[in-house]
Structure 1
Amino acid sequence: MNSLFIYLSVLLGLLSNENPTLTINIHNIDALQGNIIIGIYSSEHGWLEKDSEIKHYRIPVNSTIESLVITDLPKGDYAVSMYHDANSDGICNLNFVGIPKEAYGFSNNFKPKFSAPKFKDCKFSFANDHIMDIKLVD
């Protein structure tokens, strides 16, 4: 009987370690066209580099507020980067000095001033269900 109790306790402990849910609400979408491209990064290494995100999402824009619900992200420290690919060309178009011409946003609603943000500027700890609101900037 005692071993059955231990077995059930271990089993319930494993089940309770499920991944929490991260909901990202994207605000300030100007045009109902294209896609929102979202990258989730887990470290400074590779931050904002193409194809180095641990998760990558493409959400078709259908309204002025879009949401993404992520249920398979383990607990940890992360940072989110996104842009509105309004022309659906698959890249974040930049002007001649390297500033995005398309609306973009970061976790913590970090707004860069003279250079791209660092991972630590956008980092957040993810341990429980979390709702994040990110406002795109033009």
Structure 2
Amino acid sequence: TVEVELHRSEAGGVVRVALCDAASFESDEGCILREVEANGPMVNVVFHGVPEGEYAIKAFHDVNANGELDTNWMGIPREPYAFGNDAMGTFGPPGFDQAKVVVGPGRQQVRIRTRG
């Protein structure tokens, strides 16, 4: 079980969190996805039955609930977003290794903060 605690989420809209292995990180295809309502400054998202291994976490607060991360004309997010380990990319999103966590037996709690 992996519990992602996401901080700095404004109320309203939904928070979308993806747990991705290395093969699915770039495309989202094959990621384990969860969506919860954003009811306050902290949101908990729980993934049950996750096999042991390495997974990157990526999340965003879909403020207008349109199902996508809104960006400006340069591709910079207009909605709050986050990655595992609070990773940041230089010119774009971080790589898998920067955003990954190791999932072992039992419950694992991961805390990340949104940016933007």
Q: Fold match, TM over 0.5?
A: yes
User: 2:6 aligns to what SS in structure 1?
Assistant: strand
User: 1:121 aligns to what SS in structure 2?
Assistant: helix
Question: Number of aligned pairs?
Answer: 115
**Alignment counterpart, residue 24 of structure 2, candidates 46, 63, 68:** 46
Deviation at 1:123, TM superposition (A): 1.3
| Structure 2: unaligned runs, 5 residues or longer | none
What residue number does 1:60 align with? 37
Residue identity over aligned pairs, in percent, reads: 23
- Distance (Å, rounded) in 1 between the aligned partners of 2:32 and 2:88: 22
What residue number does 1:135 align with? 113
Deviation at 1:46, TM superposition (A): 3.4
Deviation at 1:73, TM superposition (A): 0.5
Q: Does 2:79 correspond to 1:109?
A: no
Q: Which runs of 4 or more aligned residues in structure 1 lie more than 4 Å from their structure 2 counterparts after TM superposition?
A: none
Q: Does 2:15 correspond to 1:36?
A: yes
Please report the RMSD computed on the Cα atoms of aligned residues, expressed in angstroms. 1.3
**Alignment counterpart, residue 79 of structure 1, candidates 56, 59, 66:** 56
Going by fraction, where is helix more abundant, 1 or 2? 1
What residue number does 2:97 align with? 120
| Structure 1: unaligned runs, 5 residues or longer | 1-20
User: What amino acid is aligned across from residue 127 of structure 1 in structure 2?
Assistant: G
Deviation at 1:113, TM superposition (A): 2.8
Which has the larger Rg? 1
User: What amino acid is aligned across from residue 33 of structure 1 in structure 2?
Assistant: G
Going by fraction, where is strand more abundant, 1 or 2? 2
* Paired residues of 2:13 and 2:64 also in contact (CA < 8 A): yes
- Distance (Å, rounded) in 1 between the aligned partners of 2:84 and 2:61: 15
Q: TM-score, normalised by structure 1?
A: 0.78
* Paired residues of 1:48 and 1:81 also in contact (CA < 8 A): no
User: 2:85 aligns to what SS in structure 1?
Assistant: helix
Q: TM-score, normalised by structure 2?
A: 0.91
